[in-house]
Amino acid sequence: MLRSIIRSSSVKSQQVKQVLVPRRGYGSESVPERKVAILGAAGGIGQPLALLMKLNPLVSNLALYDIANTPGVAADVSHINTRSQVAGYMSEEQLGQALEGSDIVIIPAGVPRKPGMTRDDLFNINAGIVKSLSAAIAKYCPNAIVNMISNPVNSTVPIAAEIFKKAGTFNEKKLFGVTTLDVVRAKTFYSGKAEVPVEEVNVPVVGGHAGITILPLFSQATPKANLRDEDIKYLTKRTQDGGTEVVEAKAGKGSATLSMAYAGAIFADACLKGLNGVPDVVECSFVQSSVTELPFFASKVRLGKEGVEEVLGLGPLSEFEKEGLELLKPELKASIEKGIKFANES
C-alpha cells in the first residue's frame, strides 16, 4: 500500500519566515511563508483546488491529504514550477503531519449530491467526516484558519465550531463556511441579464448555502442596472438552484467541482491576503454572526491578520429581499441546530 509521504522536496520548517518573492501583481515586498492544507485533496474539488493553490504565489507549502490517491495527485501537482513545496499525505496516521504548521486548512472532504438529493441528505456521511477532521485540526493546528467546503455547509460549520469548543480551541474569527460559489454564480448570472462586463460585477450573497437559505442581494449589485422584478426573481432562483443545475447536468457523476475549486481558491487567496496584512479584503462567508438572531450567517466579512476582522451588516434590502430573509431563517436555524446537536451527542 502506498503510505509513504510524497514530497517534491523536503518541507522546510513550518515557522513563518519572511522571504523575498518578487511576483507580478504582488509587488516585490517580502511575502511570508504560508502553509495551506487541503483535506479531500484527491476528490473532484480537491484536485483542481490543489492545482489552483499551487499556482498561488502566496503559498509556500501545500499539504494534500486524502484517504486515497493522494500520492499521485501530489506527485503530479508538485512538478509545476511555482513557489510552493508540495507534500501528499494518505491515511489517518499521516493527517497530523499534513496539518502541522498550517495557516489555512481547506476541507472539501466528503460525498457530493446525486440528482434528487438535497445537501442535507449528505449530512449522515459528511457530518462524521467533518467531525473527525475538526478534532484533528484542534489537535495539530488549532490556530489555523478553516475554510469549510463540505456540505451541508449550514450544518458542517456549526459541527466544526462545537468540536473546537469542546477542545478549547474555538476562535470564531477563524472558521469560515465557503459560500463564494454562490457569489461567483450570482455575478455570472447578473452580468448576463444586466449586460454588463462580468469582471466588473459585484453582488453580495447572504444567508446560508442551501436552496432558499442562499439570498443574493441583487438590489446592491453593481454596476447598477434597472432590471425588472421578474428578472430579479429569476436571477435569485437561478442562484439558489445553481448547485442543483450542475448536479442534474452531471446526472449522477457528482456536483460542481471546477467552479467550486475556482471559488475555493478565490476565498483561500482572500484569507491569505488578509493574513498578510493586505487592507480591505472583503468576501462573503458563512461565519459566527450577530447580523441576525441566528448564531451563524453568511454576509460580507472583512478579512485580516487574525481571520475575521469585521462581519459587515446586510445594508439596505428591497422588499423582496426582506421577505427572502424571513423565509430562510427557519430552515437555516434548523440546519445549524442539527449540526450542534450532532457534535454534542455523537
Ligand X SMILES: NC(=O)C1=CN([C@@H]2O[C@H](COP(=O)(O)OP(=O)(O)OC[C@H]3O[C@@H](n4cnc5c(N)ncnc54)[C@H](O)[C@@H]3O)[C@@H](O)[C@H]2O)C=CC1
Binding residues for substrate: 113, 119, 151, 185
Cis peptide before 295 (omega within 30 of 0): no
Question: Is 268 among the residues that bind ligand X (CB under 6 A)?
Answer: no
Residues 284-323: x/- map of binding to ligand X (CB under 6 A)? ----------------------------------------
**Of positions 2, 16, 19, 68, contacts ligand X by CB under 6 A:** 68
**Of positions 87, 105, 206, 247, contacts ligand OAA by CB under 6 A:** 247
The CA distance from 296 to 140, in Å, is 25
Sheet strands (E) in the chain = 6-7, 18-20, 30-32, 35-39, 61-66, 85-90, 104-107, 145-148, 175-177, 205-207, 214-216, 281-288, 296-304, 307-311
**Of positions 243, 264, 304, 339, contacts ligand OAA by CB under 6 A:** 243
DSSP 142: T
Strand 214-216 to 205-207 pairing: antiparallel
Sheet strands (E) in 43-138 = 61-66, 85-90, 104-107
110 interface partner picked from ligand OAA, ligand X, none, CB below 5 to 8 A per type: ligand X
Question: Is 153 among the residues that bind ligand X (CB under 6 A)?
Answer: yes
44 interface partner picked from ligand OAA, ligand X, none, CB below 5 to 8 A per type: ligand X
Among 54, 131, 174, 209, the active-site one is 209
CA 291, distance to chain mean position in Å, is 20
79 part of the active site? no
**Of positions 85, 151, 213, 289, contacts ligand OAA by CB under 6 A:** 151
Question: Is 36 among the residues that bind ligand X (CB under 6 A)?
Answer: no
* Burial class of residue 278 in the structure, from the number of CB atoms within 10 Å of its CB (0-12 exposed, 13-18 middle, 19+ buried): middle
Cα within 13 Å of Cα(70), Cβ side: 30
Residues 191-230: x/- map of binding to ligand X (CB under 6 A)? ------------------x---------------------
Catalytic residues: 209
Q: Give contact residues for ligand OAA (rule: CB under 6 A).
A: 112-113, 119, 151, 181, 242-244, 246-247, 255-256
